[in-house]
Structure 1
Amino acid sequence: MEKAVRAYAEVLRLVRRLPKESRGYYAKYARENFVNYRDVDPSDSTTLNDLFNRTYNHSLWVLHKYSVDDSAANKLKRICCG
């Protein structure tokens, strides 16, 4: 649970780097996804690892879409993939 909260907080920090007009959409999108997966069994490490990897990869995709340097996601990478 703690890892998910840290990942969510970092995703919201990355959302702040996006253009102002798109921040609300991506903040809402992130919240909905984290809420949808809150009931995942913590003992199912394969599913959790997949979700964290998708979190990181999707964040990179969004950063690239808006030409934000993906090095901004290094902390998220450490949380999700490290």
Structure 2
Amino acid sequence: MATNAGLRAYREVLRLVRQLPAETQPYYAKYARENFVNYRDLSADEDLAALLRRAHTHSSWVLSKYSIDADKAAARLKALGDGQAGL
């Protein structure tokens, strides 16, 4: 789960960043990259799942901040955090 789920989550977060206003995208893309780089060596699946759930929570907050339907937009990221492999 670790490597593939982490990379899929990063790609999904970058897709979500593209839904934000253009002037905010560079900031959030850089923020996401820094966070994923900080945790790239995480090995325990349980720890990774917790971090993926946290990524979903934070992404949902940012999307809601810009009046984007977070439940719909971040559903795939939530599924990764919940451990659903069929994405």
**TM-score, normalised by the number of residues in structure 1:** 0.91
Residue ranges of structure 2 left out of the alignment (5+ in a row): none
Partner in structure 2 of residue 79 of structure 1: 80
RMSD: 0.9
| Number of corresponding residues | 80
Residue ranges of structure 1 left out of the alignment (5+ in a row): none
Aligned residues with identical type, % of pairs: 55
Measure, in 2, the Cα distance between the counterparts of 1:12 and 1:48.
Answer: 18
Deviations along 1:22-68, one digit per CA (max 9) or x if unpaired, are: 00000000000000001112xx2221111111011000010011111
- Greater relative contact order (Cα < 8 A, sep 6+): 1
Partner in structure 2 of residue 13 of structure 1: 15
- Amino acid across the alignment from 2:77: L
